[in-house]
Structure 1
């Protein structure tokens, strides 16, 4: 295992637990950076947009339906832009963990069709994403957006729908091979009764739809409800390793950590299922500094990191430009609130397709034109200047030679932002 330098380790902290360093951030020590990222003081930021409830168009009223769809699209744009703003502005790991949990409990507005429900779920990720996984899992199993996404409205006594119960076990808490089909069926029975109304962001428990008869889940029998089902899943010994493994996979490396690291992370997770303790343990573990733990940045992480480096705030962009930013992210294959499936987004080389590369360059050009590049224009060492600005450790000779031929600062930024040294977090 090769170990990266102290400066590279600080940059990796910003990449993995935030959305990239701001200019000057790499001059701060590792422990100080850890303390800043994992600080507990609440952050301010732009308040979430006010989203009025949308009316239900009468059947056959095409104009009303068209207007409602237009309003939904507008609200989703507002919420997506607001979240990008928070990602750019955030100084702690809170927003990065909200983004992680959005991919873990992956829910798409394509089916939910309610920016209000997606925003409410997002606020739970932000409030609880660094606390107890018990509390987060309990909140998610009765989350209105997740219920709609995984057909919880169709789950009732006498006719259980297994979708939410199955994904809760397979993707959210345990992983494949650690539950039986009977656990899925009985778990679905435990989840009966929860429904979502069009007029509220909060789910409603309807006792008449709940199956109150005894259920047997993981060999234990009782009148389990949603919280009881969640607790039974988390109590399985395989759950802790699964959860910390997913955090490692998305934040550190696609290569599983050494057994000794897993033991340390599970110990930090503990009986309280403390997410913050796991993050701190990851940063302190020797495996975190392994030079082989490179990761391709997801499109949203890449774009937000570039905006942070360039001092661009999404809230300052006009609607047309914000739409272009989201179109660029869509071209790369990733838009907030639109994961492709309940399994979340892909990782690694999946983001390095030719079409994604073209969209990445176009978005980089758009963002570079929004930035104040006065200092770079005056610099006589622009290639090194853009390296420092983007927080890149070093350029390869090939990249340096390619950048050296560019005279326009905006084009230099755009090409540099698409270089492997920036697209991949080493």
Structure 2
């Protein structure tokens, strides 16, 4: 156990890790109210969220045809139903791709705007955590409507019983398509969903066997995705299901998708897996929870699989107040936190500026919502601190300050600007080296703010 944070640093950490920023007024109010009261307010927000309500979700329409009739006939003549070898020449396919690109960009920008605008940011931060946990990418799913439907499921169920969330996700159309579960039948069960369900989503590595994977895959047969519906819907077709009993992780039954989930999430290894993954995202990616801490968090999670109680236990563990448990900001946290700290709402910007600040920045940094790299989610820790990423952040900072209202920085004395920016960005203190660079740039409000946005101290969740 290292140095314990003082009261101000402790609530600052809480606000940053349950949201995206820690502006001075919010920190002052949290310090006055106390850590426990602030935590309860965060976990159990009251009243409407005017910011979130002002950012209604888009309504992606059905996608146009993917191929022209000529291309479809050529595919049928190939004998195997594959698409033409040169679909780029098909104007119908080009139109399909453009509509999909537009819907994807609209969806991504909507969620980022919602994160910036939210008055109860924990709801959005929690949704982002679950998105990384149940990582699904539009790159393969190719349906903004299906990805939005999944996003709403994660938001609605992400603060309650993990069993209810897992029940919904195992038959989520986007996840089913992503993991090839659509159309898995008794004669040829697809093992992808069953494997990832146990390895990543519910149990963790080492707590199941290859036989368990095969048996779980059999239990999940019979489910299909109706892609003619808008949005897509999952349907169960009993005739395609592998009837009879399966043995999965020590229990034999005629499992359905629902009862399979109920069994898996009831196992102690599941409790520990979910708690450990959330610990890595909220406390420390490098320092795993001690046996005592893990026992405490899983006890709070309990047989009711209460994720809210689990999060409360994580935030009140003594390790959460350990000054050494610093987390590197993921790109979405960095971008959204910077926008919130400077009061810049993407929706108020021209589309070109919005695309530069959001889409291009996050693409360059390697983390775009709705498009994780793999089913394992995005990397964590120092993986984000590359030379290429540093240049992207510099460009982002220079563009952001052009759109920010920096009257408070301009009104402050030159010598006071570094400390003002530390408070504005939720930084406890600048290092001697950073302070020197800030002093050299302090004569120019925009330049010094851009420097602060790219300083090492702003790249971490303190």
* TM-score (normalised: structure 1): 0.97
The answer on 1:268 being equivalent to 2:300 is yes
- CA positional deviation for 1:415: 1.3
Task: Provide the secondary structure at the position in 2 that maps to 1:211.
Answer: coil
Deviation at 1:154, TM superposition (A): 4.4
Q: Distance in 2 between matches of 1:197 and 1:412?
A: 54
Tell me the equivalent position of 1:37: 42
Q: Of the candidates 378, 386, 401, which is equivalent to residue 436 of structure 2?
A: 401
Q: Could you tell me how far apart the structure 2 residues matched to 1:319 and 1:101 are? A: 29
Using the TM superposition, give the Cα deviation of residue 230 of structure 1 relative to its aligned residue in structure 2, in angstroms. Answer: 1.1
Residue 89 in structure 1 maps to residue 89 in structure 2? no
CA contact (8 A) 1:106 1:341 kept: yes
How do 1:66-81 residues align onto structure 2 when only pairs under 5 Å count? 66-81=94-109
Task: Give the superposition deviation at 1:371.
Answer: 0.7
1:231 aligns with 2:266: no
Determine whether 1:343 maps to 2:344. no
Q: Count how many residue pairs are aligned between Structure 1 and Structure 2.
A: 426
Who wins on radius of gyration, i.e. which is larger? 2
Residue in structure 1 matched with residue 76 of structure 2 by the alignment: none
Please, which of 207, 217, 237 is the counterpart of residue 206 of structure 1?
237
Distance 2:431 2:282 in 1: 25
Partners of 1:23 and 1:309 within 8 A in 2: no
Q: Secondary structure at the match of 1:47?
A: coil
Instruction: Report deviation, 1:322.
Output: 1.8
Question: How far apart in 1 are the matches of 2:246 and 2:36?
Answer: 49
Aligned match of 1:412: 448
State how far apart, in whole Å, the 1-side matches of 2:339 and 2:401 are: 9
Tell me the distance in 1 between the aligned counterparts of 2:140 and 2:213: 23
User: Secondary structure of the equivalent of 1:15?
Assistant: helix
Map 1:151-166 onto structure 2 (within 5 A): 151-166=180-195
In structure 2, C-alpha distance between the alignment counterparts of 1:222 and 1:57, rounded to whole Å: 42
Partner of 2:61: 52
Q: How far does residue 26 in structure 1 lie from its aligned partner after superposition?
A: 1.1
Aligned to 1:282: 314
Counterpart contact for 1:21–1:308, Cα < 8 Å: no
Aligned to 1:384: 419
Unaligned runs of 5+ in 1: none
Cα distance in 2 between the residues matched to 1:85 and 1:338: 17
Structure 1 residues 169-188: Cα deviation after superposition (integer angstroms, max 9, x where no partner)? 00011111100111110101
Contact 1:387 1:393 in 2 (8 A): yes
Q: How does 1:298-337 map to 2 (within 5 A)?
A: 298-324=330-356, 325-337=358-370
Alpha carbons 1:37, 1:91 under 8 Å: kept: no
Q: CA deviation at 1:119?
A: 0.4
Find the counterpart in structure 2 of residue 247 from structure 1.
278
Coordinate RMSD, CA, aligned: 1.3
Residue 360 (1) aligns with residue 393 (2)? yes
- Counterpart CA distance in 1 for 2:299 and 2:315 is 15
Tell me, in whole angstroms, the C-alpha distance in 2 between the residues paired with 1:27 and 1:317. Answer: 30
- CA distance in 2 between counterparts of 1:284 and 1:386 reads 29
TM-score (norm 2): 0.90
2:242 match: secondary structure: coil
Q: State the match for 1:4 in structure 2.
A: 5
Instruction: Provide the residue aligned with 2:211 in structure 1.
Output: 182
Structure 2: gaps of 5 or more residues = 72-88
Shift of 1:31: 2.7
- Quote the Cα distance in structure 1 between the aligned partners of 2:417 and 2:21: 21
- Structure 1 residue 40, shift from structure 2 partner: 4.0
**Cα distance in 1 for residues equivalent to 2:344 and 2:396:** 13
> Which segment drifts farther, 118-127 or 235-244?
235-244
Q: After the TM superposition, which of the residue ranges 203-212 and 224-233 deviates more from structure 2?
A: 203-212
Q: Distance in 1 between matches of 2:431 and 2:335?
A: 22
Q: CA contact under 8 A between 1:155 and 1:161: conserved in structure 2?
A: yes
- Once the two structures are TM-superposed, the CA of residue 367 in structure 1 deviates from its matched residue by 1.4
